[in-house]
Amino acid sequence: MKNPIAESIADFLKRYHPFTSINSPNLLEIAQSINVIYLEKNDYLFKVNDQTHKTFYMVASGAIGLTITSDSDDILIDKCDEGDIIGLRPFFAKDNYLMNAKAREESIVYAIPIEVFKPIVMQNSNVLNFLLQSFASNTRNPLDKNHKGKLLSENVIYNDSTNEIQYYQPIRYTKNAVTASSTEIVKNIALIMTNKKIGSIIIHNEGLPIGIVTDKDLRSKIATGRYSIETTIDKVMSSPVITVTENLSIVEAQIMMLKHNVGHLCVTKDGTSHSQISGIISEHDIVVAQANNPGVLLKQAKRAQNTGDLKNIREKVSDLIQHSIDKNIPIKHICSIVSEINTAITRKAIDQTIEKLGTPPPCSFSWINIGSQGRKEQLLLSDQDNAIIFEDVSDERYDEVKEYFLNLGGIVTKKLNKIGYSFCEDNMMASNPLWCKSISDWKNQFKTWILNPREKQDVISTLFFDYDFVYGNDKLVKEITDTIFEHSKDNQLFLAYLGSEALKNPPPLGFFRQFLVESDGEHKDTFDIKRRALLQLIDAARILILDHGVKNINNTASRFAKLAEIEPLNATIYEACEEAFLELVKFRTEEGLMHNTDGNYLNLKELSKLDKVKLKNTFQPINDVQELIKNKFKLTYFT
């Protein structure tokens, strides 16, 4: 019996890709399974963090907007019109939606069951290739020159600065995969899987992969009675197993699973079934990898409900850093991404604290990070350095207002400590009355540091000249910046003081070009990469950028890049300093990840000969820029 509604839907579908490549019987089968959804204007099809549906969608009429939420505002990423497909995320990931899909006008949408569509896809190379091409090109319809649409917008947080890491970082997989011989019986295989609490085993013949057995195989072939538990596993396994190369990216793993309709990939030395097994990739590995991508972590930070949620996010950052380094993502790019995540975590911690206090801030204020966080150079877990600036209030209110912000600072810093950012040993934190001041008090503080740098009533800290706005009213931070540059301009005493501080530590090589290492204590015979190399470049970049009056560039590598632009005659030195700084940061980061430390102390015995040469090569730029500073600020008598 004919179904005129289904036939009408099928006629509509075949006008659009990829349905144009599906034959009439299959198209009718799909049409008969479709659920027709009516949406009024502003109705949601799905929202951020909703569990993925068992269907994907095609717009039959009207328009659906894809949006992300940023600072309480919905930002439109893409508009889907008649014939556009949306909601493909369930094909590529098991975790929740990362976008809102909202009707921009009255709309009719076809909900297409994935369970019905997917088998047809696997039998139709044109449809499969369309989806793979869509995924690879980040568009919904790569064949439409004028209206491709953004597939990315459904699959990741739409942020151009994060896409490189998200899609091309290598996937972390199980490297010591459990394997078994093809002559083993099913009963033994099941016992191994149960004891080791695993869902799959790669089957090999003389060390080469020939198949795979999963929980699904045991359920469908053994539990149903099709095969006896005494059957040899080669009769039950799925074969051939899909093999891939080592260092596979997330997107490549997703495409391979979709293309072959499998949930596991066998990693081998050369990517073929003719080489030794290196490991196994599961759908779970892809889900975990996606959970650690920067866009998702940023989104999770904004949605976090408590300190525990923020702690979990921060712990995932180490995996993100390791993955990015493994894929040779530039360290400067990694610093930028991690800084954004750190800032998002701090902002949410402040939001949570204000909500907990139950009383809104009594006046406008700004929270700033200082030191390495202020320079956006903090990759590893190190201590926190921060401060609060609040607007001027009447004398009568001052003590009450300051008390509120000290309380806020105390709770936030304790929260950050629980998250993983340890307390500053020197107490340079917003919970300290010295670092929680009104805007006028802060201006006076910076004037004192700049105009009387040798007076020690307050210990001058160059950390406070490296700061980054985090939360609140950024105009207060701008006032601080204006004060600093107003009083430091042509201030030879202050610049000479900073210069002398920058020259206190010479390049870290002895007379015979040997590394200067720690002579005693806990870190005896190790190389202090922070104190003996990084700080020299940080201090040099700071004084030189202040001398030029360049505002709002606090990152050391970015400062050297800007200096190379400003001083063409010294560009070679500054470019070498930028390169050396980033190389040193990479050394420190790899050391910290390897030993779960702050990475400050390198064990030179663990470095290869090539790494030692690379490390020594970073010291010449330190010498060159220190000589430049000595001459530029006439510091012969200071050193």
Is the predicted pLDDT of residue 255 greater than 80, yes or no?
A: no
Whether residue 166 lies inside any domain: the answer is: no
The DSSP element (H or E) to which 614 belongs, if any, is helix 609-617
Q: What's the domain count of the chain?
A: 4
Residues 215 and 110 in one domain: no
Rounded Cα gap, residues 32 and 590, in angstroms: 56
Q: Which of 541, 469, 465 is nearest to 499 (CA)?
A: 541
The stretch 470-475 carries a mean pLDDT of 92
- CATH number of residue 358's parent domain: 3.30.460.10
Q: Cβ neighbours of residue 397 under 8 Å, at least 6 residues apart?
A: 362
Residues 111 and 197 in one domain: no
Residues 468 and 331 in one domain: yes
Q: What is the pLDDT of residue 156?
A: 38
Between 1 and 399, residue with greater pLDDT: 399
Helices (H), 327-394: 331-357, 371-374
Tell me the residue range of the domain where 153 lies.
4-160
Residues 525 and 564 in one domain: yes
Tens digits of per-residue pLDDT, 187-219? Answer: 999 999 888 888 899 999 888 999 999 888 888
Residue 506, preceding peptide bond in cis (omega within 30° of 0): no
Task: Please provide the average confidence, as pLDDT, over all residues in the chain.
Answer: 83
Tens digits of per-residue pLDDT, 321-340? Answer: 887 787 677 788 788 888 88
Give residue 176's pLDDT band: very low, low, confident or very high (50, 70, 90).
confident
Q: What is the pLDDT of residue 291?
A: 58
Contact 267, 279 (CB under 8 A): yes
Q: Which of 379, 382, 383, 384 is nearest to 586 (CA)?
A: 379
Task: Look at residues 259, 291, 323 and tell me which one is the last residue of a structural domain.
Answer: 291
The stretch 372-392 carries a mean pLDDT of 87
Give residue 91's pLDDT band: very low, low, confident or very high (50, 70, 90).
low
Residues 185 and 119 in one domain: no
Residues 327 and 467 in one domain: yes
Whether residue 397 lies inside any domain: the answer is: yes
Q: What is the pLDDT of residue 510?
A: 60
Is the predicted pLDDT of residue 448 greater than 70, yes or no?
A: yes
Contacts from 350-358 at CB under 8 Å and sequence distance 24+? 350/408, 350/412, 350/470, 350/471, 352/304, 352/306, 352/307, 352/415, 353/408, 353/411, 353/412, 353/415, 354/408, 356/411, 357/407, 357/408, 357/411
Whether residue 167 lies inside any domain: the answer is: no
Residues 271 and 314 in one domain: no
| % of the chain exceeding 90 in pLDDT | 31
Residues 317 and 462 in one domain: yes
Contact 211, 239 (CB under 8 A): yes
Q: Choose from 329-333, 339-343, 404-408, 629-633 the range with maximum mean pLDDT.
A: 404-408
- Number of H helices and E strands in the chain, helices first, is 25, 20
Give residue 480's pLDDT band: very low, low, confident or very high (50, 70, 90).
very high
Residues 373 and 466 in one domain: yes
Tens digits of per-residue pLDDT, 273-315? Answer: 888 898 999 887 876 666 556 767 777 788 888 999 899 888 8
Q: Which of 83, 103, 125, 90 is nearest to 37 (CA)?
A: 103
The stretch 57-73 carries a mean pLDDT of 76
Whether residue 24 lies inside any domain: the answer is: yes
Q: Which of 274, 416, 444, 256 is nearest to 349 (CA)?
A: 416
Task: Look at residues 160, 189, 220 and tell me which one is the last residue of a structural domain.
Answer: 160
Whether residue 584 lies inside any domain: the answer is: yes
Rounded Cα gap, residues 561 and 219, in angstroms: 60
Q: What is the pLDDT of residue 320?
A: 81
Bridge-based pairing state of the strands 200-205 and 179-181: parallel
Between 247 and 629, residue with greater pLDDT: 629
- CATH number of residue 128's parent domain: 2.60.120.10
Q: What is the pLDDT of residue 71?
A: 45
Residues 17 and 151 in one domain: yes
Is the predicted pLDDT of residue 152 greater than 80, yes or no?
A: no
Residues 38 and 82 in one domain: yes
Q: Which of 61-65, 84-88, 477-481 shows the lowest per-residue confidence on average (mean pLDDT)?
A: 84-88
Whether residue 174 lies inside any domain: the answer is: no
Whether residue 127 lies inside any domain: the answer is: yes
Whether residue 171 lies inside any domain: the answer is: no
- CATH number of residue 213's parent domain: 3.10.580.10
Helices (H), 532-570: 535-547, 556-566
Q: What is the pLDDT of residue 319?
A: 79
The stretch 583-606 carries a mean pLDDT of 88
Amino acid code (one letter) for 16: Y
Residues 222 and 258 in one domain: yes
Residue 469's Cβ-side half-sphere holds a number of Cα atoms within 13 Å equal to 15
Task: Look at residues 258, 291, 324 and tell me which one is the last residue of a structural domain.
Answer: 291
